[in-house]
Structure 1
Amino acid sequence: MALQLSHAVSDGIRRIFTRTGGVLFLGLLAIQIGTQTMVNTAILGFLPPEVATEFRSNVGLVLPISGEIALAALGVLVLLSSAYFVVLSRTFAQPLSEAGSFPASVTKRLGRASVIALVGGVLVTIMVMIGSVFFLIPGLFLAASFLFFIFVVAVEDEGVISSLKRSWGLARGSRLQLGVLVFASALFGGVIGAIAPLLTLAGLSVAADLVIVVFSAVFFLPYYAIIAAAYLQLRDGQSRSDKPTTGPVDASQTQKL
């Protein structure tokens, strides 16, 4: 079954304008602010004092803590971010009629799923980066092929390898449409990557961090909601095609009693 991208977009957008969409937006905003702050703080904390003082004006959100504490907090935030995306995937991958509430299974085996999502996410990132180094097209192809990885982990409770295989199978025949989503994400990253340095050069480093965080949350929440809608569309379509079809019984082929 080929993906109907326009339907996935409209379905996904409807999912974010709910109570759960609002909660997930605030959660994503908090995680991104915390992550950006800890990255900045860790960088400053591990620089020599004289270099850190000079570099401070170019760094945005920071906290008055040591680099070691910031690095430890960053590790916690990475794990928390993985758990967040498992919760997001389980919430958005519900029927649209239930999108206004979190599913009862939202925390089921959350620790296991979070670790698998983190390990698999690192593997996917490495593969996409390697593919992009040789040429852009292999990177886009791999990114599109593994776009459903987090949803398979979260919803179908699969392991790393089986989730990669499952995502690959679901994307088969729809990679061109999924590539449009991947390209939109890359384009957004390019725009943000161009705006933030300009704000930093203007002496607005804190504003640059806030622009990155807020705009990223505004973009990526509907982005993942659209991917969730695409996942449901392809998964349910595949399930229907796997069911054996039944036709009328040919009475001439049955034995007479």
Structure 2
Amino acid sequence: MAFAILNTMSEGFERTVQRNGLVLVAVLAVLTVMNTLLASTAMEPAGTADPTVGVLGFVMGLLSFVVAIASVVTMIVALRVFASGETEHIPRAFVRRTIGLATLNVIVGGVVFAVIVTLGGVLLVIPGLFLLVSLYYWSVFVAVEDQNFVRAFRSSWSLTRGSRLRLFGLGVAVVGLLVVVTALVSIPAAPFGIVGAIVTQTVGAALTMYALATTVSAYDQLRTLDQPDRPDTQPDMPGTPA
């Protein structure tokens, strides 16, 4: 059985619009809007000698950093929720279980992933795209299976073997959809100032959750293809339904 692109995208949408998905959209939207407001508050005319301005900028920068970390944690929890099949409530274990280590691995792994893909793209476009598709699912292994990012890269490489062309097609379809929806929302919202920005950020949060849900849906399908005799391919974790 071949990897099914349309089924993956449809399942990603279904997971996003369920109760847990909508809760995660709301949380990420609030964090994104907060970060935007903090960034705009911290912007002051250059050259001022008022020490209060410097203190305010430091505090705003610190708060922005905290919000950014909270956003990463939210996306880790989202991957766990979408992989678990939970739709009505978010188990506390998904928020607490090795969350600090997972967050550190996602941040460091994200930087390493970006460097690897960028270097591949600089050498030639094709190697960059190949590495992008082959290693893309590393974050799921970090969040769901508690792997470090190095092992997660190897796991993603193994998981995507044999389906990379179709996964590239999935990526093109999802990115294209996100670009179109973002343009349809952000362009009309631009003249409405802060209200328009909040609407755009909220839609952006929903699209981010959809991308994460689709990633997990693809991950599930790839595991099924890799181990077709297993009736349940979900890794065991606290709070995961049997």
In structure 2, relative to structure 1, the CA distance for the partners of 1:224 and 1:39 (3 Å cut) is same
> Which residue of the other structure, out of 220, 227, 238, is the alignment partner of 1:239?
227
Query: Deviation digits for residues 184-206 of structure 1, max 9, x if unmatched?
Result: 45443587479858966x5x442
1:220 maps to 208
Query: Deviation digits for residues 72-91 of structure 1, max 9, x if unmatched?
Result: 11211221122111100110
In structure 2, relative to structure 1, the CA distance for the partners of 1:213 and 1:136 (3 Å cut) is farther
Give ranges in structure 2 of 5+ residues lacking alignment: 49-54, 231-242
CA contact (8 A) 1:46 1:67 kept: no
In structure 2, relative to structure 1, the CA distance for the partners of 1:46 and 1:108 (3 Å cut) is farther
CA contact (8 A) 1:2 1:234 kept: no
In structure 2, relative to structure 1, the CA distance for the partners of 1:159 and 1:195 (3 Å cut) is same
Using the alignment, how far apart are the partners of 2:45 and 2:227 within structure 1? 52
In structure 2, relative to structure 1, the CA distance for the partners of 1:146 and 1:39 (3 Å cut) is farther
SS of the equivalent of 1:101 reads: coil
2:4 maps to 4
Deviation at 1:37, TM superposition (A): 2.3
Deviation at 1:8, TM superposition (A): 1.6
Query: Deviation digits for residues 10-56 of structure 1, max 9, x if unmatched?
Result: 222221232211211101111211222233334x147345xxxxxxx
User: Structure 2 matches for 1:1-257, cutoff 5 A?
Assistant: 2-42=2-42, 44-45=43-44, 47-49=46-48, 66-95=56-85, 98-103=86-91, 105-106=93-94, 107-184=96-173, 186-187=175-176, 188-189=178-179, 192=182, 204-207=192-195, 209-240=197-228
Q: Higher relative CO (CA 8 A, sep ≥ 6), structure 1 or 2?
A: 2
Aligned residues: CA RMSD: 3.2
Deviation at 1:146, TM superposition (A): 2.4
TM-score normalized with structure 2 length: 0.77
Query: Deviation digits for residues 84-109 of structure 1, max 9, x if unmatched?
Result: 111001100024xx433324631211
Give ranges in structure 1 of 5+ residues lacking alignment: 50-64, 243-257
Give the letter for the 2:210 counterpart.
P
Structure showing greater Rg: 1
TM-score normalized with structure 1 length: 0.73
CA contact (8 A) 2:189 2:197 kept: no
Give the letter for the 2:17 counterpart.
F
Residue correspondences, number: 224
SS of the equivalent of 2:227 reads: helix
